[in-house]
Structure formats: C-alpha cells, structure tokens
Structure 1
C-alpha cells in the first residue's frame, strides 16, 4: 500500500472539477484514455457516463466480458459515494473487496476496486463517472486522473500518485 496515496487522491478529487461538462467533453476524455491505451498496448475498457446514460465507451484488444462487469460495479460505487473508487479502497482496507456488511452493498453490484472517478461540476456536484478496467487498480485510477488533468489543463505531475 502506498502510504501517501490517500492524501493525493483527496487532492485529486478536490482539484479535478469541471465548470461545465457535456458530450464533447466526455468524448475527448474517453478518446484520450483510448489513445493512451492503444499506445501502451493496455487490455482496457473505458467508459464515461452520466448517471442516466453512457456518453463514451471503448473496449481495447485484450479486454474481456469481465471488464464490463468491473466497470458497472465501480460506476455504482462512484454513484453511491460520489468519491473515487481507489480513495474508498484506501479507506476501507477490505481484503475481500466488499463493503462492510452493515452497508448492505452486495459484491455483485458494488466492488472496492480502483478505476472509477467522479465527474464533478461546479454548482451541480457529481454528475457521473469516468471508469477504467483492465490494469492493476492503482494504474486504472492513474489513467483516469491523467485524462481528466489533460482535459482540465491541470499539470498531471502535480496530481500523479508517487512512484
């Protein structure tokens, strides 16, 4: 576990906020993730979606049907908590990837796994999520953050998790 990650993730969640967000924004973010994945030969799936509908979806070579389910469950977690899924992983420290029994969140629909990040809009709050699946969870998270930084004009070096 990277001990500085929790503070850095909180800073990411605070800093990566949109003044507005629309279909074109979603497409640019998704396209950036897809291009990076193709360049790196990553077997990933990426989705950018608002609560009511998907705006971007891409499946790269090597991704599988199981990635669809990981994305769905990570998205549900962002929708429930309005937080990045990796941030929750760090806080919950759950070895079996499940939320505590008392939350009533079944593993079939909610999973503690990094790679989901809230789309936060000034004045509106969290309106959706960007989700990546297919790499180790810390890397899934980093891929999303890098794309959000690129779209928002935030220096990724200032936001990146420490090596």
Structure 2
C-alpha cells in the first residue's frame, strides 16, 4: 500500500471511529482493554486517555520509562493542535522535527505515531487516546484496534497493512 493509501485509511479511521459518548466509564473500558492486550501480548507501552482538560486513564506496563510518558505528552500536544492522528502527521510530513517557523517547539510537540483523537458524535474532537512504547505505526494500530473493539467494528476494515 502507498503512503497516499495509508493517509486515506487514517482519515477514514479518524472520521469513522467516533464515540456516541465519552466519560470515565468509556475511558476505563478503552484503557483497560489496551492494558489487557499489552499484558497478554507482553507489549511494553504506556496508555494515556484524556479530555483536553484532564487525564482520565493512565497505565504503564513493564519495560516502559518516564521517557514514554514524555512522548505521550508531546503526541497529545500534536493531536490537540493539528486535530488529526499523530501518525497521519508522520505519513504527511515524515518523522521529522517541527521547523522553528511552525511555532511547534520540539520540546512540546512531536511527529510520531500513537496519538489518536477522541471524537464524540455532535461534539467533535474532545481529547486524545495516546500510546507510546512501540514503533509509531504499531502504537497507532493499538489505539485504532481499541476503538474498533469498543465500537463493535471489524478491525480488518481499519487496519493499516504491515510495512
């Protein structure tokens, strides 16, 4: 699959993976499912789920460090500012540092996969589900899989092909 096809699929993910509602119960269900998968598959990752004004779920599995939490912070800032999955930024721009002219200081923003916007029907993007610890494409896929499972959608329809 080409980069253009990947971008189109990520845009489809962003538009289709919309929650009817979002609250602490939904955050815990999504986060718990990701943590459960990480434990079952022995994945080293951090998961953070939040609205723009507060963190609603956080978990870290063995093999992660404070660096992962900082990557999460920077990915969240990128999703919040650009209103798109951080992996779409990778596909559109490459995994590069933001230029000084962008106003997105690399200390606070990063172009790396794993941040996915939480979109609620009728409200728009209200927060972010973010994964850090795996390669960016896989961080992104773990987030997408969690949304698919939560929404009862077929993962295969939304899965990026292996590179």
Normalised by the length of structure 2, the TM-score is: 0.95
Quote the offset at 1:70 in angstroms.
Answer: 0.2
Match of 1:103 in 2: 102
> Aligned partners of 2:161, 2:35: CA distance in 1, in Å?
23
Quote the offset at 1:132 in angstroms.
Answer: 0.3
Normalised by the length of structure 1, the TM-score is: 0.95
Quote the offset at 1:162 in angstroms.
Answer: 1.3
Secondary structure of the residue aligned to 2:89 is helix
Secondary structure of the residue aligned to 1:71 is helix
Asked if the contact 1:47/1:56 (under 8 Å) is kept, the reply is yes
Secondary structure of the residue aligned to 1:151 is helix
Match of 2:70 in 1: 69
Quote the offset at 1:2 in angstroms.
Answer: 5.2
Q: Deviations over 1:89-146 (max 9, x none)?
A: 111124xx31233211110000000000000011111000000000000000000000
Secondary structure of the residue aligned to 1:149 is helix
Match of 1:116 in 2: 115
Q: Which runs of 5+ in 2 are unaligned?
A: none
Q: Superposition RMSD on alpha carbons, in Å?
A: 1.2
> Aligned partners of 1:9, 1:38: CA distance in 2, in Å?
26
Match of 2:150 in 1: 151
Match of 1:49 in 2: 50
Change (3 A) 1:136 1:2: farther
Give matches, 1:1-163, under 5 Å: 3=3, 4-94=5-95, 97-163=96-162
Asked if the contact 1:92/1:99 (under 8 Å) is kept, the reply is no
> Aligned partners of 1:152, 1:103: CA distance in 2, in Å?
35
> Aligned partners of 1:2, 1:153: CA distance in 2, in Å?
27
Shift >4 Å, 4+ stretches: none
